[in-house]
A and B are shown apart, each in its own frame.
Chain A
Amino acid sequence: MRWFNFVLLLFVTLVLQLGVGRLFGVGPQRVMPDLLLLLAVVLAFRGPADQALIACWILGLVKDLSSQAPLGSYAFAFGLLAWAIVRLREMFYGEHPITLIVLTFLCSFLAEIFVLFICSLKKVMEVESYTSFSLVIMFSAMLTAGLAPYGQWLILKLHRQLGLPRRRIYGR
């Protein structure tokens, strides 16, 4: 993987997430998709195993630094989910967009629930209604999953610049 180009792509994604994400959010709470997680899932699904794990961990760290979550929580969650995707990806039929959509939805939901749990444990924020937060997390996961095919299309267009293989890699 070409790490310099990866950092550039990461920077652009972060700028979009921080600057524009809430403006175009959906609903009164301005729920926005998680572009960093979307990039992580696509890289874990398509990229070389070992490098994709590190790239996903870096994406999680960047999300930690750009949010109020305890440092390390998103990095750990993204790393763990990337490890799971890399271990299981050869079982999935990767050419159909539904696969990526379902995978992205599950990863987004699980990552946010994990971080919400960590935030509650460390008393970073008071959560009165876990049901409401879970609904928002699910809605955000649906938005992120809906963008997954487009994210994959973009990564495929940039596969040479990122140093990724054109076709999916099977096996570890």
Chain B
Amino acid sequence: MAGRRSERLSHKQIFTYLMMGAVVCMLLPVRVTNHLDHVLSVLVAPFSKGSQDMSLMVTDKIHQDDSGEVPSDTPEEPVDATIQDTNRLVNIEQELKYYKDLTDRLSGLRQNQSLDRARLIVAYITGSDSSNQREVKFLDRGTRNQVESGQIVIGWPKQIYKDNILNDEETDAIYEQALSGAVVGRISDAGSWTSSLQLISDPGMAMKVAIEPAPQRREDWRVKGILKGKGLGQISVHLIPATVPVKTGDVVLARSDDEGLPMDMIIGYISSCRRTEKNPVEWQILVQPAVDLQNLREVVVIKR
């Protein structure tokens, strides 16, 4: 009929309403909208993990020699083996300190669980954040697997997991590999089936840490500080007084606490430490992670 307006929405009207909806969503608190992120992860996770595995298989094949066999003494192996051994040495030393403290506290004070008794949940990396600004990985475990926000995550060097994909029943193997690994981040958000791993280099990351001298220095001191991710792969430690004899190569440990980590564990090593005129009372420390954060494939979530 002439003059009767069509009730169907035009594409322009739909677009206008969608843009208004986007503005409203931007005004909502982040904790409300974060839950929706995992809806998409559940659908995409199997495919992105598959594509990741396939591309890693292809790149591994490219590095093989013409004979089709992996050379037994490739230049990479000694370096990875040294990192593994150093990580293991540091973590075992911390475990020894833990048990020494435990024997001192056998008078009946509350006892913490060590790493081997804590529940270790194996999880696989299914993808990365789609923007360059954040350092977040997605895991294929969620609240249904008892993964919760705030739990600490351990990863290990690429050389270990190359041929050894773990499952949840191999608790001894998981524990042994975890000792050769390092803290790589924390669960920032957990959905039912998937969760988000915030890496230590992420701009929003802050963690209590301690610095101890490198094993070869044979010194005995310890200083506490705060680790902060600066984004772009950089990690810094703050609140370390300039009077402490910190040097490149010293060990940065994630401090144990009642909620996250049962015992101190290695995060990385100091890659640079200097004093600046702007703030002469404090060291400007940058940290090299003990594990390559971009090549993670499987990790372990520590449940307390």
A→B interface (CB under 8 Å): 11, 14-25, 28-32, 34, 36, 50-51, 53-54, 57, 60-63, 65-73, 75-76, 79-80, 83, 112, 115-116, 118-119, 122, 124-129, 132-133, 136-137, 140
Residues of B within 8 Å of A32, CB to CB, are 132
Q: Does B107 contact A (CB under 8 A)?
A: no
Q: Does B177 contact A (CB under 8 A)?
A: no
Q: Does B257 contact A (CB under 8 A)?
A: no
Residue from A15, A28, A76, A118 having most chain B Cβ neighbours under 10 A: A15
Q: Which of B104-151 contact A (CB under 8 A)?
A: 126-134, 136, 138
Give the Cβ gap from A95 to chain B, nearest Cβ, in Å.
27
Contact across chains for B128 and A70 when beta carbons are under 8 A apart: no
**Chain B residue nearest to A35 in the complex (CB):** B130
Contact across chains for A19 and B51 when beta carbons are under 8 A apart: yes
B29-46: CB near A (< 8 Å → 1, else 0) gives 010010011011100100
Residues of B within 8 Å of A112, CB to CB, are 131-133
Residues of B within 8 Å of A127, CB to CB, are 203, 231
Contact across chains for A51 and B56 when beta carbons are under 8 A apart: no
B53-93: CB near A (< 8 Å → 1, else 0) gives 00110010000000000000000000000000000000000
* Cα(A129)–Cα(B229), bound, Å: 12
Q: Identify the 4 closest CB pairs spanning chains A and B, nearest first.
A: A50-B11, A72-B25, A19-B48, A18-B127
Q: Does B23 contact A (CB under 8 A)?
A: yes
Q: Does B50 contact A (CB under 8 A)?
A: yes
**Chain A residue nearest to B137 in the complex (CB):** A22
Known: A29-B232, A112-B133, A125-B134. A71 touches B28 (CB 8 A): yes
Known: A50-B10, A57-B18. A22 touches B294 (CB 8 A): yes
Contact across chains for B11 and A54 when beta carbons are under 8 A apart: yes
Contact across chains for A15 and B48 when beta carbons are under 8 A apart: yes
Interface size class of B (residues with CB under 8 A): 35 or more
Contact across chains for B136 and A68 when beta carbons are under 8 A apart: yes
Name 16 A/B residue pairs within 8 A (Cβ), A-sorted.
A14-B40, A21-B130, A23-B56, A31-B132, A50-B11, A50-B12, A57-B15, A57-B18, A66-B37, A66-B41, A66-B127, A67-B129, A67-B130, A71-B25, A72-B28, A125-B134
Contact across chains for A19 and B19 when beta carbons are under 8 A apart: no
* Cα(A18)–Cα(B137), bound, Å: 9
* Cα(A70)–Cα(B25), bound, Å: 8
Of the candidates A51, A63, A76, A132, the one whose C-beta lies within 8 Å of that of B131 is A63
**Chain A residue nearest to B41 in the complex (CB):** A66
Residues of B within 8 Å of A57, CB to CB, are 15, 18-19, 22
Contact across chains for A126 and B26 when beta carbons are under 8 A apart: no
Contact across chains for A21 and B232 when beta carbons are under 8 A apart: no
Besides the known contacts A20-B51, A79-B19, 15 further A-B residue pairs in the complex with CB atoms under 8 A apart: A15-B44, A22-B128, A50-B10, A53-B12, A57-B22, A65-B40, A66-B44, A67-B130, A67-B131, A67-B136, A70-B30, A71-B33, A112-B131, A115-B133, A133-B133
Of the candidates A18, A75, A128, the one whose C-beta lies within 8 Å of that of B48 is A18
**Chain B residue nearest to A126 in the complex (CB):** B203
Of the candidates B55, B127, B196, B204, the one whose C-beta lies within 8 Å of that of A24 is B55
Contact across chains for B228 and A126 when beta carbons are under 8 A apart: yes
Contact across chains for A66 and B133 when beta carbons are under 8 A apart: no
* Cα(A15)–Cα(B130), bound, Å: 10
Q: Does B52 contact A (CB under 8 A)?
A: yes
Residues of A within 8 Å of B37, CB to CB, are 65-66, 68
Give the Cβ gap from A81 to chain B, nearest Cβ, in Å.
12
Contact across chains for A15 and B230 when beta carbons are under 8 A apart: no
Contact across chains for A133 and B55 when beta carbons are under 8 A apart: no
Q: Does B2 contact A (CB under 8 A)?
A: no
Contact across chains for B230 and A128 when beta carbons are under 8 A apart: yes
Give the Cβ gap from A37 to chain B, nearest Cβ, in Å.
10
Contact across chains for A68 and B134 when beta carbons are under 8 A apart: yes
Contact across chains for B204 and A126 when beta carbons are under 8 A apart: yes
Q: Does B304 contact A (CB under 8 A)?
A: no
Contact across chains for A65 and B10 when beta carbons are under 8 A apart: no
Residues of B within 8 Å of A17, CB to CB, are 130
Residues of A within 8 Å of B21, CB to CB, are 72
